[in-house]
């Protein structure tokens, strides 16, 4: 059992928790993820690591209540326990492997969408701790849905854009990236994390701009250790398992259409309707049913 020390709602349907998980906290690096089970009958669900504290032995998770399982998770309070927390899973970000001098020479931009903002945070923080500057673009539908703003401001040059223009720049993240580029920000490296549809269109743009781009894939998973193959993707014509070969891949090589299609495998009609109701007219394709 893994104790929840803090639980807060960041915005509608997105919540943050600090959980005691000493082994994960000790070993994890930016780019990795974990799998939890809410209770003994729970499904195994992969979640992103937003932050970690090695000394306290805690990890911070951020999740969006979009299905039955994440809704159950969202109802838990400080003092409750999760049945399981396992990780860290997947490979750490390539940035952690590169020499700091090389990183300092690069102009790096992160593009974060929705709940995908959370896994960008430890990467930006890690760079800051190693003396490397970076830009971060956070995209959200509207002002109220922007998360982690203050914490990002402390570790990077932050650009916020909202679909409805209620805060920061106006428009999708792709527009913000194009505008920043046109304003003279010639990025050498891009990391995009968010809904698959967002990553797909960011990759389309960065290909045109010639910016190497890493994406973090979040397909269906069961065990998270390479055993089931449910998370398989086609990357550069080869089959890869997101859980052990990723989750980060060269975004210009990922077959997003196939990956989005595979997301709908276990979606029920009911679940799709719920998602549509929640996301309204800015339905982002997380259902896997959209073009």
Partner 1 sequence: MDGFVRVPVREQDAKVRATNFQEVCLGYNKEEAESEAQRCLNCKNPKCVQGCPVSIDIPAFIQQVKEGDVEGAYQTISKSSALPAVCGRVCPQESQCEGQCVRGIKGDAVSIGKLERYVADTARELGIKPEGAKEKKGKKVAIIGSGPSGLTCAGDLAKMGYDVTIFEALHEAGGVLVYGIPEFRLPKDAVVKKEIENVKSLGVKLETDVVIGKSVTIDELMEKEGFEAVFIGSGAGLPRFMNIPGEQAMGVFSANEFLTRSNLMKAFDENSRTPIMRPKKCVVVGGGNVAMDAARTALRLGAEVHVVYRRGEEELPARKEEVGHAKEEGIIFDLLTNPVEIHADENGWVTGITCIRMELGEPDESGRRSPVEVPGSEFDIECDAVIMSLGTSPNPLISSTTDGLEVNRRKCIVAQEENGQTSKAGVFAGGDAVTGAATVILAMGAGKAAAKGIDEYLSQK
- For the purposes of burial, counting CB atoms within 10 Å of the CB of 93, is it exposed (0-12), middle (13-18) or buried (19 or more)? buried
Which of the ranges 112-120, 164-172, 180-188, 227-235 carries the binding residues for partner 1, by CB under 8 A?
A: 227-235
- Asked if 264 touches partner 1 (CB under 8 A), the answer is yes
Nearer CB in complex with partner 1: 8/258: 258
Nearer CB in complex with partner 1: 89/173: 89
Restricted to residues 156-195, the positions that interact with partner 1 (CB under 8 A) are: none
Site string for partner 1, 9-48 (x = CB under 8 A): --------------xx-xx---------x---xxxx----
- For the purposes of burial, counting CB atoms within 10 Å of the CB of 174, is it exposed (0-12), middle (13-18) or buried (19 or more)? buried
Alpha helices in the chain (DSSP H): 22-27, 68-74, 100-105, 117-129, 149-153, 173-182, 196-209, 242-245, 256-262, 269-279
Out of 30, 46, 74, 87, the residue judged to bind partner 1 by CB under 8 A: 87
Residue 262 CA to residue 240 CA, distance in Å, equals 14
Residue 182 CB, shortest distance to partner 1, in Å, is 37
Torsion, Cα 249 174 107 10, to 10 degrees, reads -80
Out of 88, 139, 251, 285, the residue judged to bind partner 1 by CB under 8 A: 88
Residue 277 CA to residue 266 CA, distance in Å, equals 19
Nearer CB in complex with partner 1: 30/113: 30
* CA 117 to chain CA centroid, nearest Å: 6
Residue 242 CB, shortest distance to partner 1, in Å, is 13
Residues that bind partner 1 (CB under 8 A): 23-24, 26-27, 37, 41-44, 68-69, 83-89, 222-223, 225-230, 232, 234, 239, 244, 258, 261-262, 264-266
């Amino acid at each position: 059992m893994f104790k929840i020390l803090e639980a807060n709602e960041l915005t509608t349907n997105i919540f943050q928790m600090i959980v005691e998980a000493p082994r994960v906290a000790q070993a994890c690096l930016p780019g990795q993820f974990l799998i939890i089970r809410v209770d003994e009958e729970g499904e195994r669900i992969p979640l992103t690591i937003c932050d970690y504290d090695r000394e306290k032995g805690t990890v911070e998770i951020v999740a969006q209540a979009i299905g039955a399982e994440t809704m159950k998770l969202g109802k838990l309070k400080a003092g409750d326990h999760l049945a399981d927390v396992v990780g860290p899973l997947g490979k750490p970000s390539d940035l952690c492997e590169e020499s700091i001098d090389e990183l300092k020479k690069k102009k790096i931009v992160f593009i974060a969408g929705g709940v995908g903002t959370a896994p960008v945070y430890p990467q930006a923080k890690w760079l800051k701790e190693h003396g490397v500057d970076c830009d971060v673009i956070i995209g959200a539908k509207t002002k109220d849905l922007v998360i982690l703003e203050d914490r990002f401001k402390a570790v990077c040059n932050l650009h916020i854009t909202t679909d409805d223009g209620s805060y920061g720049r106006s428009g999708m993240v792709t527009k913000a990236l194009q505008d920043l580029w046109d304003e003279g920000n010639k990025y050498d490296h891009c990391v995009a994390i968010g809904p698959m549809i967002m990553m797909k269109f960011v990759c389309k743009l960065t290909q045109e701009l010639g910016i190497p781009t890493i994406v973090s894939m979040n397909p269906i998973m069961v065990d998270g250790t390479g055993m089931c193959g449910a998370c398989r993707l086609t990357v550069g014509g080869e089959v890869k398992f997101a859980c052990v070969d990723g989750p980060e891949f060269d975004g210009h090589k990922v077959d997003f259409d196939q990956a989005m299609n595979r997301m709908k495998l276990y979606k029920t009609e009911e679940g799709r309707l719920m998602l549509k109701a929640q996301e309204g007219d800015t339905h982002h394709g997380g259902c896997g049913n959209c073009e």
